[in-house]
Structures are given as structure tokens and as C-alpha cells.
Structure 1
């Protein structure tokens, strides 16, 4: 017995749908947990590689005569300044490195093209109005160990002379600047691109230098493949689904075993629990009250008790709920009218049948012999109340 009348009533009214719903939920939950175990999750992750292409312009010069600072044959590399008399020729080396940064390995199957120009540009008020370019390097060197190199040597005095010639032509009109412009094209097999950098080339009567270093670097990212990772489903989810399925099936079996439940009895139990503070258990005599009013529901009896400030008496033997007020009995009973509640309910179908060979007694044989108590009404009881008390 469930000590919850409302739950009893719910099961009485919707027991079959509840059992079906619990069984369906339990079956689905167990199937879902089984599917989760049999089908681990698979994630696909893309793998990426990174390539770097770096280019620069290196300078060097060989000393052609002894002096205070250097000796003949000395080689100066990437110097901040070169003396024109000591080193009249400048060697320019354009280099490009192709490297796979992901694997840390050089790219040997790439292609590189170098183009180096010397550019003269006339400006006025910082605005260019004339320019002239001469190609110094133009080649596609082989890539060895990931590096491609192009080299040339220039006569610095010839460049100075040409700059002075242009300045003489534009005297009083504008200035003439000289610059080296490096243009690189590359193809790594996976990525392609171009690089362009420049720097001013300053030449005086005694020295020359590159105003800024020339360098460029590009980074390319590309997809190299995918990796599939297989992981089992969440153990917490599987355990939760299994527990839900087991509990649902167990609850369905429990409800099914309790069916069928007497709906009227369950509803009466709910009302008894709800109005327990107005109901007392007791025994109600048959003869009490002058008038007997049959009400339809227990709630009606409780309403009368509340209105009259009386108690509802529950006679369990008679299955009766009643309120007595000023000689009037307001009652409710599932057995029917007041008189029908006098005797306990009996199931005649379960009584044993008359034994074979023993005929039922006739009306004449059913005499009350030897019982003087009922022989004369005047010698018996005065009224029904005495008869009830005697019984």
C-alpha cells in the first residue's frame, strides 16, 4: 500500500497509460545507452602545415688598396658604410630561403626568380615627376638546401656619375634620389607569392651605403591532411540512460502489479486525508437522529460540519460518514441509504452451497420452537431501540 492517496488515485485513473509510458521510456533509454556504447563518437581534425619564405639583400666589398683602416684584399660584408676609394665596387647578393616550418625542413623543389633594379627618381616637394630604372640582377637561380642566391657586382662610381648628371640637368628644379629595388617571385609547390622591397642608395664623393636593410618574409598556412579521433561516448550519459531505463521498467512493473486499483476507494482516501482535521473515527447508532439526509459526496458532509461547527464521524463498520445536528443526521455512504448501512457487507457468492442430499427447510419447518423471547410481542421488547440493544 502506498501511503499517498493522491498517488493511489493517479494510478487508479491512469494506471494503464502510466505503465505503457514507463515501459516505452525504459526501453528507449536502454536502447539509447546500448547505441551509445556501440557507436563511439568520431571527430575529424584538419592538420595544417606552415611554410616561410624569407628574402634579403646582402652587400660586400673588397678593399683594393692598403690604407690606414684596411689592407688590400680585405672583404667587408654588410658594412654600415663603404669608402669609395678603398672599395669602388659593391657586390649585391639577393637570397631567398624556402622552409617548411611544420617539419623544420628546407624546401628544395621550389622555384625562385630574382630581379634587382637601380632606380633614379626625380622629386620636387616630395612628389615624383620622373624616374629611370636599370636591371642589375635578373635570374632564376637553383634552389639548394632550400636557398636560392643571385649575385652581381656594380661599379659605384658609374652610378654616382649618372646621379650627378641627372642632378645637373635638373639643377634648381628638383632632387634626384637613387635606390635599389628587389623584386622576388617564388613557388614552393604549395604556395606562390611575390615580395618587393627597396632602400635608398646614398653615394658621396668619398663613401656610399644602403640607407636601410632590405628584407621580406612571408608565412603561408595550408591544410596537409586530416586526423580522425575515436572516443567513447560520455560514461556519465551512458550510466544515466541505463539507470533511467532500469528505474522506468521497474516502476512500470510495480504499477502493473498494483493494478487494478479501486478508483472510488482511492478518491475517498484522498478526501479523508484532505479533511482529516474534521473527521473522527467512531460508532454511529442506527436509531440516532429524527431525520436522515443522504448527501452525494464526502465533501458535502464536511461542508455541513464546517457550516455547523460539528465533527464528521466515520463509522468504519457501517462505511458511514455522518454529521449530527439538531436531530438531523447528514450522512454519506457508498452502501446506499441509512437502513442499508445497518448490516455489514456480505458476499453471498462465496457462501458454501447446500450439501447434496440435504433438502432446504420449508417454511413450516422453520418454526421458532422453544424460543419464548419472540413468542408474544407483549412479552418482548417495547421498541426498536430495545431490540437493537439486545442484538
Structure 2
């Protein structure tokens, strides 16, 4: 055993009861903190997800009413421009669709056609030509409005002949409105959309149909509970401290009950430490058979080594005689190693 170990164990033994109690309290407190610190935590999080998507379109086509070599009478055609002589009727279609889970909606819609005559973008004549309204249930619908473009053009021409405006502009505005309400995936929903289209007359006896299509996404936000790991570092530290203090409590109890200081020679331990400290100035050897008559015994190994250093000598250790010595100018300087149990 080393001297420092002996001193440490001796100090612990003197207060081992107090140390054991303190370590047990600290171990218990750390353990209590570990078990009362939750490993998981519940938190409220807001999750936004898609409830449904919608899409709608207002489009038109011409209806062939005059026999011709290109199309059969009654056929609906889609052309970039329509001749009034062959397709005097225009059919406008409003389509709307809702996509989602368990869609249960009631739709209300109307399509309105308004013809106008304007001057410098200000409408002088504006008349509702035709309106159609309808309702249905489900997830989608398709509604049609048929317009007599010849009749509309004649009405506009009548107004033009009366007003004779310069830089005039004529056309037909088509407005489709959709309103819906109900449930999607069991959640109440409500909304409305508007689609616009037009019939224009770029050339005499010809017309064009245009419309818009739109789509969108509706989301919903819900608050839900989320469980996630928590306090992992804190719990690890508390558990480590609890185990550490527990081991220290056991260790101090063992030292207090098992360690016997009187079984160790403290002077021997101190000499061992001194011997290791001075070992680089000591060599092994034999005490000469014939010794000089003049001898000087030093009180300690340290004193002997310091004297040897001053005289530029090296200390020799004879393991059989248990003596440390050196010779200088016919004088034997030595230190006798004390046997275990020997008293000075």
C-alpha cells in the first residue's frame, strides 16, 4: 500500500459513518430525481393537412344547325372561331368538382349571360339575356346554358343603329357562380367560386367563346397530442449520480468496517515513498569487505543522497546488508535500512 492510500483510507475511516449517510442521502435523492423525471412528454401540436381540392371550368362550344359538308346538324363543335351562319347557337357549360374523402355537398349554381354595348370601356347598354339556376347534391356537377347568338347579335345591332357610337365595343359576358355547403370527411365545409367567360365578335358574322378554369386546395388545422422522448440527458446524469453515490456509500462502509490502520507501518510506507523518490541517485552494489575506520551514519536516506550529490558521488544499496552507503576520501557514509517492526 502506498502512503497516500494509507492516509486517504485513514481519513475516510475517521468519518466513515457520516460519509456513508451523506452518500446514501445523495444516492437516494438522485434516484428519486431519476424516477420522478418523466422520460416522455406530451405536447400539443397543430397539424395542417389537405381536406379537399376543387376544380372548375366555364367553357363553350358551338351547335351546328345548318347542313354543311363538315359537320352533322346538331353536332357540338369546339372551334377557335364560329361562323354565325352554321353555328348560331352556343352552349356554355359550367363544371365543378370537389375531390376528398366522403364528400357530401349541396351545390347551388347559376349561369348568367349579359350582352353589352360600351363606349371607352363604359357600358352604355347592358341587358341580362338569360339566367339559369339549379341545385344538386354530391361531389360534382355540370350545368349547361344554351344561347342564341344570332338573336343576341340582332339585339346589339338594333342598339348600335340607334346610338351610332364611335369606338364602340360589343360582346357578351358570361358569369357562373357556385355555392356549396356540407361535409367532407365528416367536417363541415362551405365555399363559393365565380367563373367568367365571354362571347366576342371579332369579325362580322363570326364569334368567339372564351372561359376560365380554376382550382384550389382547402386545408384544415387540428390540434393533436404528440408523445416524444424527453429529459434523456437529465435522467442519464441522475441515474449515474445515484449509482456513483451508492458505490461510494458501500465503499466508505467497507473502509470503515474492514480497514485496520494498525496493521500497517506508516514509517515503512513513508520510507518506501522516499526510496522511490530518490531512486535515480541510487545504484545496487555490495558493501566492501574491508571498511574504512571512519564512518558517518546519516539520519535519513534523503540526507545520505544529498551528501552524495554534494560530494559528486552516487549512493550504493546493498540488498543483503540492507544498507545505503558511499565512500569519499576514506570515509564511509551510510544509512541503515530499518527492518519492519524495528523501532528507532
In structure 1, distance between residues paired with 2:93 and 2:198: 16
Query: Which structure 2 segments of 5+ residues have no match?
Result: none
Please name the residue that 2:85 is paired with: 85
Q: Residues 251 and 330 from structure 1, CA distance in 2 versus in 1: closer, same or farther, beyond 3 angstroms?
A: farther
Please name the residue that 2:219 is paired with: 221
In structure 1, distance between residues paired with 2:108 and 2:3: 87
In structure 2, distance between residues paired with 1:24 and 1:237: 19
- Where is the strand percentage greater, Structure 1 or Structure 2? 2
Please name the residue that 1:96 is paired with: 96
Q: Residues 257 and 206 from structure 1, CA distance in 2 versus in 1: closer, same or farther, beyond 3 angstroms?
A: same
| Mapping for residues 294-309 of structure 1, pairs under 5 Å | none
Q: Residues 251 and 92 from structure 1, CA distance in 2 versus in 1: closer, same or farther, beyond 3 angstroms?
A: same
Q: Residues 56 and 344 from structure 1, CA distance in 2 versus in 1: closer, same or farther, beyond 3 angstroms?
A: closer
Q: Residues 20 and 115 from structure 1, CA distance in 2 versus in 1: closer, same or farther, beyond 3 angstroms?
A: farther
Return the structure number with greater relative CO, CA threshold 8 A, min gap 6.
2
Q: Quick one: which of 230, 250, 255 aligns to 1:253? A: 250
| Mapping for residues 87-166 of structure 1, pairs under 5 Å | 87-100=87-100, 103=101, 105=102, 107-114=103-110, 116-118=112-114, 120=116, 122=118, 128=121, 130=123, 134-135=127-128, 136-137=130-131, 139=133, 141-161=134-154, 165=159
Question: By how many angstroms is 1:220 displaced?
Answer: 1.0
In structure 2, distance between residues paired with 1:13 and 1:115: 102
Question: By how many angstroms is 1:86 displaced?
Answer: 2.9
Q: Residues 320 and 330 from structure 1, CA distance in 2 versus in 1: closer, same or farther, beyond 3 angstroms?
A: closer
Q: Counterpart of 1:253 in 2: which secondary structure? A: helix
In structure 2, distance between residues paired with 1:152 and 1:217: 22
Q: Is the 8 A contact 1:42 1:231 kept in 2?
A: no
TM-score of the superposed pair, with normalisation by structure 1 = 0.54
- 2:5 is the alignment partner of 1:8: yes
In structure 2, distance between residues paired with 1:271 and 1:133: 119
Query: Which structure 1 segments of 5+ residues have no match?
Result: 332-337, 348-391
Q: Residues 276 and 96 from structure 1, CA distance in 2 versus in 1: closer, same or farther, beyond 3 angstroms?
A: farther
Q: Residues 255 and 58 from structure 1, CA distance in 2 versus in 1: closer, same or farther, beyond 3 angstroms?
A: same
CA RMSD of aligned residues (A): 5.7
Deviations 1:190-236 (A, max 9, x none): 4544434434423344433324x4211110111356465688999x9
Please name the residue that 1:75 is paired with: 75
Q: Residues 66 and 306 from structure 1, CA distance in 2 versus in 1: closer, same or farther, beyond 3 angstroms?
A: farther
TM-score of the superposed pair, with normalisation by structure 2 = 0.60
Q: Which has the larger radius of gyration?
A: 1
Please name the residue that 1:277 is paired with: 280
In structure 1, distance between residues paired with 2:304 and 2:135: 110
Please name the residue that 1:389 is paired with: none
